[in-house]
């Protein structure tokens, strides 16, 4: 679907005039990097529910690179416009693109990061010498293996930070996302069908506190009615144009 110059101008103006912009991203922001989404027409869960084989990434995970949509958000942060980013993605592309971890809540974890089950500190696999071939993915439901790394800070059990079905949501990220959603005056949703709870509650929280809601997604979402501006477009294409417009009129 295409978008108009007026669409670009409206979103650019709302972002430029925002006093506290929070962005919420889903798998749709990463499709232009070669990763499949989950709830779209060709999404992983959509195809699986139909009994069809899900699409695989076009490259190995460690070779997937951020796209124009990710980098547009980094530029908005560098310009002082983006204050916080809430993401449902585990693909590490926001951090890889340059978003600081201190302004990022990864609600479903990050496939490159492990965490301590006791003190909740995050570590890269390299930092703690976690070897997938020896110790597996380290998911919460997997039985600990002999000699697997322990937390260097408290000796607690190390697990993957990825939140799988049935796992509890990360308390720290949920609390911070709720706080940021109450604080923002503009929330921009990018690439999410807004069908997964409790993550989809944050745009509702923002709306309830009077924030303007921008939704950019190729497919329909579960919260169409809360959008002040609704754009059907690829996020990389659209956000690049928005960024250009903001720079011209700053």
Active-site amino acid positions: 108
In angstroms, how far is CA 194 from the centroid of its own chain? 12
Q: Who contacts 215 (Cβ-Cβ below 8 Å, separation ≥6)?
A: 189, 194, 203, 221, 223, 224, 227, 229, 230, 231
14 three-class SS: helix
Residues forming a β-bridge with 150? 157
114 three-class SS: strand
Structure tokens at 246: 């903001």
Closest C-alpha among 230, 209, 234 to residue 221: 230
Please answer whether residues 112 and 138 qualify as being in contact, where contact means their C-beta atoms are separated by less than 8 angstroms.
no
Structure tokens at 200: 């989809």
Please answer whether residues 54 and 36 qualify as being in contact, where contact means their C-beta atoms are separated by less than 8 angstroms.
yes
Structure tokens at 56: 């695989």
User: Where is 97: in which H helix or E strand?
Assistant: helix 93-97
Please answer whether residues 236 and 210 qualify as being in contact, where contact means their C-beta atoms are separated by less than 8 angstroms.
no
How many other C-beta atoms can be found within 10 angstroms of the C-beta atom of residue 120?
15
Structure tokens at 44: 């992983």
């Amino acid at each position: 679907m295409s978008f108009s110059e007026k669409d670009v101008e409206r979103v650019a103006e709302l972002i430029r005039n925002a006093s506290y912009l929070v962005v919420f991203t889903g798998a749709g922001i990463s499709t232009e990097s070669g990763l499949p989404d989950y709830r779209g027409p060709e999404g992983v869960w959509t195809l699986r529910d139909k009994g069809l084989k899900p699409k695989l990434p076009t490259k190995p995970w460690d070779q997937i690179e951020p796209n124009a949509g990710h980098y547009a958000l980094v530029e908005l942060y560098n310009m002082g416009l983006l204050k916080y980013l809430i993401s449902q993605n585990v693909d590490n592309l926001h951090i890889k693109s340059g978003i600081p971890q201190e302004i990022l809540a990864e609600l479903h974890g990050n496939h490159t990061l492990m965490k301590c089950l006791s003190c909740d500190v995050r570590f890269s696999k390299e930092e703690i010498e976690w070897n997938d071939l020896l110790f597996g993915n380290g998911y919460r439901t997997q039985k600990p293996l002999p000699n697997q790394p322990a937390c260097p800070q408290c000796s607690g059990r190390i697990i993957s930070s990825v939140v799988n079905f049935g796992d509890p949501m990360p308390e720290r990220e949920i609390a911070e996302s709720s706080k940021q959603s109450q604080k923002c005056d503009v929330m921009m949703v990018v690439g999410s069908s807004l069908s997964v709870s409790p993550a989809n509650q944050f745009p509702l929280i923002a709306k309830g506190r009077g924030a303007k809601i921008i939704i950019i997604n190729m497919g329909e979402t579960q919260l169409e009615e809360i959008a002040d501006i609704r754009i059907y477009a690829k996020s990389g294409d659209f956000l690049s144009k928005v960024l250009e417009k903001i720079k011209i009129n700053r």
